[in-house]
Amino acid sequence: MTPAALSHSRAEAFPANWLKRIGFALLFLYVLYAMSTLEITWERFVTGLGHADEFFGRMWPPNFEATKLDLLKTGMIESIQIAILATFVGVLLSLPLGLLAARNLMPEWVSWTARGTIALCRSFHPIVVAILFVKAVGFGALAGILALIVASMGFISKLFAEAIEEMSLKQVEAVRATGASFWGVLVMGVLPQVMARFIGFAAYQLDSNLRNSTMVGIVGGGGIGATLFTAYQRFDYDFVLTILMAIVAIIMVSEIASGWLRKVFQ
Amino acid sequence: MAASNENSALEIRALSKSYVPGKPVLKDISLTIPANGITAIIGPSGTGKSTLVRCINRLVTPTSGAILFKGLDLTQLSGKALRMARRRIGMVHQEYNLVERLSVMENVLSGRLGYVSAWRAFLRRFPQDDIDRAFGLLDAVGLADFATRRADQLSGGQRQRVGIARALMQAPELLLADEPTSSLDPKTSVEIVELMQRLAAERGIPVIINIHDVELGKRFASRVIGMSQGSVVFDGPPENLTDQDLATIYGGESWLAA
């Protein structure tokens, strides 16, 4: 038998998946269609580059005047306060909420109620929530803090509940077999297994709250975002650059700090 | 409710368990466990040995029947009464089941959770008496220097020693062991069963042990119970266990050494 005939008798090594091919083709066609309806053209992009060049030209050099630095400092400190307070309260509230949402510890109706609450917290972007709170409690840091508490609860409770659902039930069962109460099992069987991950989530959330806290100010939630927005509106582009640089610096510092925090608690 | 016999640790009456209705794992089991010594339960995998032992401390709820322990019917308990009964029954688990991220000391003290409030446990403020006893038990199982090590840093044999210390920390009136040696090498297996036997005998605690290793069971047990397909097919002292009985328990004969 010739090699060609031999290979014919076998199944193809990489059979064509027509469903996949048609899927990609449809996606490609949709992208073209969407671009045509939204009037995205190369021309507009090129003129845009020119504007951007002019914009960056007006930004440089950054403005380091004493009065500006004062504004920057006040805004920055407020942002950090918003982030830390929101993370602290959010994490504290996530602990019971996540526990209630864990399907392997709670009866179904409890976990579904808790899951519904979490889903509600997660369904809106922090900015949307911040707008609601600004309307409810007025301009300022309180609205920003409340918005970020909601965001933190949505994020941490969900991950915490998942961590609990992934823990080893055998270890929990062994603690239960000693005659421990529900709380005893929680303290010595459940928490030791999930605490390190919970602290990891909290550190990550602090990091992301710092980033978000620079944003809630734009809609009136206080902090450096407010300063940034004002600077934009007054065409103080050199001060805008100063603020942006400060934000980048603070995010980097928090990145390092949260990595260090996670390492301490493995 | 009839009181259990004075010189028995446990009386099992007509115990049945079906996880799926109509497919019983345990079929009408009646046994009296003596008040001292080791009772070894042998039998093929999936024959319900583990279910039987776990029915006793109610990690599994039996379908019907009674288990009499110190005048209590364990099958009827729930809530606080069940926890009060559980703390009198120690258990050594198949894969040690230590809480890996806790220290050896914390794992041993978990044995007191039936007596110490969750709040005190959370603050790690266990009574000094308990801490002294925990150190004593760690000494007895040969891990005196390991108290502050995290459980996941120990070897299999060391972990099972901690498991034994945790169970004895309850000051139990009955010790259950569910395949305590199945994850261990042969030498460590012998050491673990020997240790369990010695510590339980010193404290006058009867032991029920599920075991794969027939020779090991025969060597340390004062009584052997053979199970097959959810029923007891042999019950007697180890010296009475013949090749014929083993063939009945495990099925076939070709695997028996000539």
pLDDT in tens, A140-158: 888 889 999 999 999 999 9
**pLDDT for the residue A221:** 78
Q: Which of A164, A188, A191, A265 to mutate to test the interface with B (most CBs of B within 10 A)?
A: A188
Per-residue burial over B224-245, b if 16 or more Cβ lie within 10 Å, else e, is bbbbbebebebeeebeebeeeb
Q: Is A171 close to B97, i.e. CB distance below 8 A?
A: yes
pLDDT lower than 50: segments of chain B? 1-5
Is B68 in the A-facing interface, judged by CB distances under 8 Å? no
Q: Is A179 close to B95, i.e. CB distance below 8 A?
A: no
Q: Is B101 close to A196, i.e. CB distance below 8 A?
A: yes
CB < 8 Å to B134, chain A: none
Angle at A79 between CA A75 and CA A83, to 5 degrees: 175
**Domain layout of chain A by residue ranges:** 16-48, 61-264
What is the pTM (predicted TM-score) of this model?
0.79
**pLDDT for the residue A266:** 63
Is B114 in the A-facing interface, judged by CB distances under 8 Å? yes
CA distance B100 to A214: 40
**pLDDT for the residue B135:** 95
Alpha-carbon gap: A189 to the closest alpha carbon of chain B (Å): 6
Is the CATH number 3.40.50.170 carried by domain A61-264? no
What is the Cβ-side half-sphere exposure of residue B98, based on CA atoms within 13 angstroms? Answer: 30
**Given a cut of 90, is residue A237 above it in pLDDT?**
no
**pLDDT for the residue B223:** 93
CA distance A186 to B162: 20
Helix (H) or strand (E) holding A219: none
Least CB–CB distance from B121: residue in A173, A174, A184: A184
**pLDDT for the residue A57:** 83
Candidate from A52-66, A97-111, A117-131, B223-237 with smallest mean pLDDT: A52-66
Query: Where do the H-state alpha helices sit in A102-140?
Result: 108-122, 126-137
Q: How many CB atoms lie within 10 A of CB B42?
A: 28
Q: What is the ipTM of this complex?
A: 0.90
CA distance B239 to B251: 20
Q: B230 vs A97, A172, B44, B45, B46, CA distance in Å?
A: 43, 27, 10, 11, 9
Tens-digit pLDDT profile for residues B76-85: 998 899 999 9
**pLDDT for the residue A8:** 60
Q: Is B83 close to A180, i.e. CB distance below 8 A?
A: yes
**pLDDT for the residue B6:** 57
Least CB–CB distance from A193: residue in B86, B101, B119: B101
Candidate from A25-29, A111-115, A198-202, B126-130 with smallest mean pLDDT: A198-202
Q: Is B114 close to A180, i.e. CB distance below 8 A?
A: yes
**pLDDT for the residue A58:** 82
The radius of gyration of chain A's CA atoms, rounded to the nearest angstrom, is: 26
Quote the percentage of chain A above a pLDDT of 70.
97
